[in-house]
Amino acid sequence: MTRTKDRQARTPFLSRPGVRRLVPFFLITAIALVFVFENRASVEIRLLVPMVTMPLWGALLIAWGLGVLACLLTVRRRSNRR
């Protein structure tokens, strides 16, 4: 066995770079989803011109999804620059 394979076999799961990047994402996602589904009241929301009545959890979920999408696009663009 070579030294690099031996070193990779001993690397603890939580200290791997890929796992360290995903742990905060899953933690924040879990907290956000709990917050979203606890707010179930209907609210009026102005979408530029029209007024829309929808459940608050739907509006929060849409905002969360747009934030995740923006984050993914930003990370992808940053990695392409290198």
Residue carrying structure tokens 């392409």: 80
Measured between alpha carbons, how far is residue 71 from residues 37, 51, 63, 74, 75 in Å? Answer: 22, 28, 12, 5, 6
pLDDT tens across 27-76, in order? Answer: 888 888 888 778 889 999 888 888 999 998 888 888 888 988 988 888 77
Other CB atoms within 10 A of residue 3 CB: 7
Please give the residue range of the domain that contains residue 63: 3-81
- 36 and 61 Cβ atoms separated by less than 8 Å: yes
pLDDT of residue 21: 76
> What radius of gyration do the chain's Cα atoms show?
20
pLDDT for the residue numbered 8: 55
How many structural domains compose the chain?
A: 1
Predicted TM-score (pTM) above 0.85:
no
